[in-house]
Structure 1
Amino acid sequence: MKICIFGSGAIGAYMGVRLHQAGAEVSLIARGAHLAAMREKGVRLLAKDEDVTVHPRCTDDAAELGPQDYVIVALKAHSVPGAVETMRPLLGPNTT
């Protein structure tokens, strides 16, 4: 199952780690220094009794990923309108 999380801040990255742990093929869309850090060090989750780092695919270019089974939009609401067009490559006939 291919899942892309578009917007990988605190909530998106948390979901990405959990979905990766569950066995999904997870890709994270981010930008700038946050993207560079995830590429270099992975995505680390510190929870009550847990410290886990995963290394999902991370990019700022949805076209690299192609159609996904699921796209989770984890952007702040004011960022969504400006990002809609860049999400198009993620959408296929069966994408939810």
Structure 2
Amino acid sequence: MRITVFGAGAIGGYLAAKLAIAGQVDLSIVARGAHLEAINANGLRLIEDGNETVARVRAASRAEELGVQDYVVLALKAHSLAPALDRIAPLLGKGTAVVTMQN
């Protein structure tokens, strides 16, 4: 199962870390700037209940690098969605399910 989380803020980063820790999926995250650099260099760091876990996740700045996915999780702020639609399109295929997690 191929899953991409589009957006690496608090919501997207948390979900991607939890999915990566759970395993059993081909997981990617689309990020930009400092978030992308940190994920590629150090993984996603999740601190919960005083325990720290580092999740290694394939991170890309462009959806074209990842190809068609089974699931795409949109973890963008609502005002960021419309400008990002063209960038999300390469992830979508005939059977791709899109899940929104927005604030």
- TM-score (norm. length: structure 2): 0.89
Task: Quote the residue 2:91 is aligned against.
Answer: 90
Task: Quote the residue 1:8 is aligned against.
Answer: 8
Task: Quote the residue 1:36 is aligned against.
Answer: 37
4+ residue segments displaced more than 4 Å: none
Task: Quote the residue 1:21 is aligned against.
Answer: 21
Q: CA–CA distance in 1 between the matches of 2:43 and 2:18?
A: 14
Q: CA–CA distance in 1 between the matches of 2:21 and 2:88?
A: 24
Give the letter for the 1:16 counterpart: A
Figure out how many residues of one structure are paired with residues of the other and give that number. Answer: 96
Q: Percent identity?
A: 46
Q: CA–CA distance in 2 between the matches of 1:10 and 1:45?
A: 10
Q: CA–CA distance in 1 between the matches of 2:37 and 2:89?
A: 23
Deviation of 1:40 (Å): 0.5
Structure 2, gaps ≥5 residues long: 98-103
